[in-house]
Amino acid sequence: MEFKGRISVFGGRDITTEVYKNTVEIGRLLAQEKYIVFCGGGQGVMEAIAKGVSEESGTVIGILKGRDLEEGNPYLTLPIATGMDIGRNAVLAYNCDAAVAISGKYGTMSEIAYAFQLEKPVIGYETWDIKHVIHAKSPKDVIIKLNRELARV
């Protein structure tokens, strides 16, 4: 199967029902666009994005904090146990052509910072208002802005 590119999705565990629903939609759209999706593999944004990607038979890889594959959510195509705790945030930034940041707290902020250090574009949806994050207003807008940024690379 041919893939369009690699997208890492950053986001928090504690999210609203609305953010969960829209994140599932972003996952569906990423799969429809033929992106390989990486995420932290846990709950919240990570579960929602994996659910959306899996509903469209896409590929979603979970880079887990711990050593136990069971910590991954049930929607992952491939869970990868790292034992790296928050150090896995750097792995997520390295394994993408661009990133999508959704909601989140300080872990998401650190992932955004890693992506910026690696000069990778970050599309934001309901997330930190940080200089250089390209904010999107809807799931479709996330994909439009993501495709636009990747066309520049």
Does the pTM surpass 0.75? The reply is yes
Domains with residue ranges and CATH for the chain: 5-147 (3.40.50.450)
Report yes or no: 7 and 99 within 8 Å, Cβ to Cβ.
yes
Outline where DSSP puts E strands in the chain.
5-11, 35-39, 60-64, 78-81, 98-102, 122-125, 134-135
56-106: pLDDT as tens digits: 999 999 999 999 999 999 999 999 999 999 999 999 999 999 999 999 999
125-136: pLDDT as tens digits: 999 999 999 999
Report yes or no: 34 and 6 within 8 Å, Cβ to Cβ.
no
